[in-house]
Amino acid sequence: MPQVAKIALPGNNALTETDPDKFALYVDQLVDYVLIKEKATATVNVSPGTTNIAHGLAYVPFCSVWAEESSGVWRKLYGYPISGSLWFEINGTNLELHNTSGSDVLFSYHIFYDNIT
């Protein structure tokens, strides 16, 4: 028998509701709503160049990276930018934080257990 664990948001009936958006927790082995699982998060100062964050996993994990582009303003980063000087890459060993801005920049990252390869 498939295992199910569901907690509906206030005002919704967990026994009859089928829209996953109406649940705080929706775990059902029959549908592939795998919840991403956080492994590590931190804010680090990245000097010009590359800072490697060893993630300790044997595969390439899902991640999310942000940088403080100006005081108090945090921008979501992507891969090598068409323009700009901050980006990240991730491989089977490290999360690589790249900074070619010429000055130190704070990066914030989340690394998840979930395998993307």
Partner 1 sequence: MIFKVAKIGKRADSSEPNDFIFHSDYNTFKIIAEGTKTVTLLASTADQSFTQAHSLDSFIPILTAFAKRDGVAQVFAPNGVDVESYGVRDGFDGDIKFNYVATNATNMIFNFDNDKVSTVDVDIRYFLLERAA
Tell me how far, at minimum, the Cβ of 43 lies from partner 1, in Å. 6
Q: d(Cα 85, Cα 99) in Å, to the nearest integer?
A: 6
Tell me how far, at minimum, the Cβ of 5 lies from partner 1, in Å. 6
Q: Please give the residue ranges that form the binding site for partner 1 (CB under 8 A).
A: 2-3, 5, 25, 27-30, 33-39, 43, 64, 66, 68-69, 72-76, 78, 81, 106, 108, 110, 112-115
Tell me how far, at minimum, the Cβ of 49 lies from partner 1, in Å. 21
Closest by CA position to 91, among listed 54, 62, 60: 60
Q: With beta carbons less than 8 A apart as the criterion, state whether 46 and 109 touch.
A: no
Closest by CA position to 103, among listed 78, 85, 83, 79: 85
Of 13 and 117, CB closest to partner 1: 117
